[in-house]
Amino acid sequence: MTLSEKQTAVEPSHKQLSIHRQCELVGLSRSSYYRQPAPESEKNLELMKLIDEIYTKYPFFGSRKMRDYLNRQGYGVNRKRIQRLMRLMGLASAAPTRKLTVPNKAHKVYPYLLKNMDINRSRQVWCSDITYIRLKRGFVYLTVVMDWYSQYVLSWEISTTMDDGFCTSCLQRAIRQYGCPEIFNTDQGSQYTGTAFTGILKEHGIGISMDGKGRAMDNIMVERLWRSLKYEDIYLKDYESVPELIEGLRAYFAFYNDERPHHSFGILTPAEVYHGADRMKRAA
């Protein structure tokens, strides 16, 4: 298990097992469980919170528009600083322009397979992405694997760094639990173009699709999930620590999958659609 997997496996509210005992069972030190990400300055953390909220509302903002917007709000900050923080946060404009984070040129980039495709069933296409999640005194990164058609969240993990380890772990967990899709779509980030990630997809005979360069909206389903998560949970809860966040994410994704109806499917939840309840109800 990766560090992120071990942290996620510990349930702070478990009725029978203490956090200390759970850490022992999964081979995780308590210091690693409670470890917070390396902090930025208070001013930068505040700026990052603002950038995150603005970007969630206006995903087409690049560093220039972000700087202008912040300056109009009374925050005197230059574009270079905005660029650095947006890179740190893994953010790039959804507009068709140059991305802030550059893919690894040594990695193969695969074509976008979803253009004009009729995605009409579960397990046809899965997708993944990474987003910045703020804490009161720091931040982490969150990745998910999601079914495109039903918008069912299959697996998720957090990490204090944007390496490929937590992305591959999240993918492997989804495959172990749910089998394989026909196609897997991601952006061109190095976490997804590397051989560790693409190798797993090839090993299982899964078609590899990657967004057009600089077109974040090619992965629109995950972008919508991030928007829902942040407005419905992250911005409201303002989590203090990684353990609190893990517990909160576990509760939110259970709600999102099993209780929250999606407007595209009327009163049905993503779980009902993913497992075929939409077909059963429509046939009734």
> So where are the chain's domains?
3-34, 42-89, 125-282
Q: What is the pLDDT of residues 41-62, one digit of tens each?
A: 888 888 999 999 998 888 888 8
Amino acid at 228: S
Counting Cβ atoms within 10 Å, is residue 145 exposed (0-12), middle (13-18) or buried (19+)?
Answer: buried
Report whether 97 contacts 216 (CB < 8 A).
Answer: no
> 128, 146, 109, 138: which is closest to 34 by C-alpha?
138
pLDDT value of position 226: 93
**What is the DSSP-derived secondary structure letter of residue 153?**
E
Q: What is the pLDDT of residue 221?
A: 86
Higher per-residue pLDDT: 10 or 63: 63
Q: How far is CA 174 from the centre of its chain?
A: 14
Here the tokens at position 60 are 């087409």
DSSP H helices, 96-234, are 165-178, 190-193, 195-203, 220-229
Q: Is the pLDDT of residue 2 over 70?
A: no
Q: What is the pLDDT averaged over residues 147-151? A: 96
Q: How far, CA to CA in Å, does 9 sit from each of 26, 169, 174? A: 8, 13, 15
**pLDDT over threshold 50, residue 96:** no
pLDDT at site 284: 45
Q: Which two tokens stand for residue 51?
A: 């950038």
Backbone angles phi, psi at 129, to 5 degrees: -160, 170
This prediction's pTM: 0.75
Is 253 within 8 Å of 234 (Cβ atoms)?
A: no
pLDDT of residue 40: 73
Task: Report the candidate in 102, 133, 147 with the shortest Cα–Cα distance to residue 273.
Answer: 147
Q: Would you say 134 and 235 are in contact if contact means Cβ atoms under 8 Å apart?
A: no
Q: pLDDT class for 282, splitting at 50, 70, 90?
A: very low
Least confident of 93-102, 192-201, 206-215: 93-102
Q: What is the mean pLDDT of the chain?
A: 83
Assign domain 125-282 to its CATH architecture.
Answer: 2-Layer Sandwich (3.30)
What confidence category does residue 283 fall into, taking pLDDT thresholds of 50, 70 and 90?
A: very low
* CA 86/CA 82 separation, integer angstroms: 6
Cα(145)–Cα(155) distance, integer angstroms:
5
Q: In the structure encoding, which two tokens stand for residue 27, read together?
A: 């081979």
